[in-house]
Amino acid sequence: MKLIKKILGKMIRLLYRIVYRFIPCDDHTILFISFHGRGYTDNPKALHQYISDHKEYASYRCIYAIKHHKEKNLTIPNAKIIEYFSIPYFFYLARSKYWISNCKLPKYVLKKDNQVYLQTWHGTPLKKLAHDIEVPEGTTFYRSGMSIEEMRATYDNDVSKYNYMISPSAFTTEVFQTSFRINKERLIETGYPRNDILSNYTKEDVETIKNRMHLPHDKKILLYAPTWRDNSFNMKGYTFKLEVNFKKWQEVLGDEYIVVFKPHYLIVNDFNLDEVKDFVYYVDPQEDIADLYLIADALVTDYSSVFFDYAILKRPIYFYMYDLENYRDELRGFYLDIYKDLPGEVITDENTLLQKIHTHDFDYDRLIGFNERFNNHEDGQASKRVIDILLGEQHGA
């Protein structure tokens, strides 16, 4: 079956290469892709919702490419859902005037001169990216075993197609120029559309999310959101070894908190949480994390960029970096001085982490300077700024 799928995939890509130029673009069709079709999430979701909520864009047809959407029983108001990597997907790659994606598209994707590609990306980087990564000779990346030159080439190919790339801050604008080798003129420093809700949410939004997730209302919520490790993977994807003792967390924090555990979307392995099922609530890695920010009273993370977004809420952030030496020196480098620039303290010992959370030991002053540097555009209007740039000229014509 895998061989048949592989052959069919090659045939579809070949057919696409032959006919894509002969399929005319529709100036009012927009194709949205989040995390290679993993779902309705992130910046593309926020931009789609903005377009849907404003009548002046009613003439635009929105297409959302999602893997296994029928099995997921998805419906998206004001959007036609198509299967990612299907014949309709390739048709709309050629048909859509606009592409809105939050991660690099595969090399087989071909762009016509009159198409417009908006790359929203999916976070402010703490970890070094693409051309900025420095690794020993012979290092390979991803499950494919790419060399660093091959890995960088995948970025170069995608970047060559961008008309616009979103940047949330002056810091990120500088980083993207070196990591992606993109000229500043194509970077639009607007803030991230997905973060608009962090400025515009209501108490009713928080209650609705808690009810939908069947979470207790009499406990504070601690969001644990670790990232993936480059050197830990299997045939399905990246794996994550849970290096926390949730039973101990429950003993120290259980009277006041519950934990919502949301791994990075690339993590594919399962976790046995039966012993703490009334204390730890597991969230599928493929789910959008935005709603979890709103309900969380504090965040525990490691090297994930989630803290850049969460800092907008001005709530405590604890950095539990139990494998710091290995991660920093062998897997990735950092853009920031983690001891000076982060909006929270770096903690490598689990007992220290739990004690600080238990005693509410957090320096809120660190959030002020951090947000001024990294979140100065996050005012709830990023989606408007992006759509004004992307569609404003044509819409006004």
Structure confidence at residue 234 (pLDDT): 47
Distance CA 146, CA 167 (A): 27
How many Å is the Cα radius of gyration of the chain? Answer: 21
Mapping DSSP onto H, E and C, the string for 167-232 reads ECCHHHHHHHHHHCCCCHHHEEECCCHHHHHHHHCCHHHHHHHHHHCCCCCCCEEEEEECCCCCCC
Structure confidence at residue 139 (pLDDT): 78
Assigned CATH topology for domain 11-195+379-396: Rossmann fold (3.40.50)
Q: Which two tokens stand for residue 333?
A: 């480098």
Structure confidence at residue 397 (pLDDT): 37
Structure confidence at residue 230 (pLDDT): 54
CATH superfamily of 197-374: CDP-glycerol glycerophosphotransferase, C-terminal domain (3.40.50.12580)
Structure confidence at residue 233 (pLDDT): 54
Residue 359 · residue 388 · CB < 8 Å: no
Cβ contacts of 162 within 8 Å, gap of 6 or more: 117, 118, 119, 182, 186
Given this chain, do its domains 11-195+379-396 and 197-374 carry the same CATH topology? yes
Dump pLDDT digits (tens) for 121-158: 999 999 899 999 887 777 777 666 889 899 999 999 99
Low-confidence ranges of the chain (pLDDT < 50): 234, 396-397
Q: Which amino acid is at 31?
A: L
Structure confidence at residue 121 (pLDDT): 97
Between the CA of residue 149 and those of 46, 232, 280, what are the distances in Å? Answer: 34, 21, 41
Domain coordinates in residue numbering, the chain: 11-195+379-396, 197-374
Structure confidence at residue 6 (pLDDT): 83
